[in-house]
Amino acid sequence: MIKSSALQNYSLFGGLLEEQVNALIPLMEQETYKAGDAIITEGDLNDKIHFILEGSVTAMKRGITLCQFREGDTFGEMEVLDVMPSAATIKAMTPTKVMSISHRNLRQIYKNDIKAFALIIMNLARDISRRLRNMDEKAAPESPHMEWN
């Protein structure tokens, strides 16, 4: 099983104390995927936040690659936060090991330690914000001919 000191290096657990992370470990599940395996399928229900321990995955929507995630990155959080079907397909590009926290266990964290829950949600918000900022840059690169209406 993974150690709390290793988990503290991931952005999802930033700011959590070692004893808080230790309390979370029993609420997490480790999963392993082969290259090419679908971890999440677009349109299906997903109730887990995943973060990558080893390997890399790609996010695709309608067959178009949106981005790639590597060790330390989080995915699946949109469906857990807004309780909608999966927005994209996530496939393992290489042999990949992830840890996941289910929606049910996220609620358990809320009940057990509201401060740890708040930090996890804040860390998720930061990760989503960074991802959105990156997608904005890709969608609207700077151009000397850009018009502002």
pLDDT digits over 8-64, tens only?
Answer: 888 889 899 999 999 999 999 999 999 999 999 999 999 999 999 999 999 999 989
Domain membership of residue 138 (yes or no) is no
Phi-psi region of 69 (alpha: psi -120 to 50; beta: other; left: phi over 0): beta
Domain membership of residue 30 (yes or no) is yes
- In whole angstroms, what is the distance from residue 34 CA to residue 32 CA? 7
CA 12 to chain centre: 8
Domain membership of residue 149 (yes or no) is no
Domain membership of residue 105 (yes or no) is yes
Which CATH number covers residue 41?
2.60.120.10
By residue range, what is the domain housing residue 102? 4-133
Instruction: Give pTM, 2 decimals.
Output: 0.81
Work out how many domains the chain is built from and give that number: 1
- In whole angstroms, what is the distance from residue 48 CA to residue 39 CA? 11
Domain membership of residue 81 (yes or no) is yes
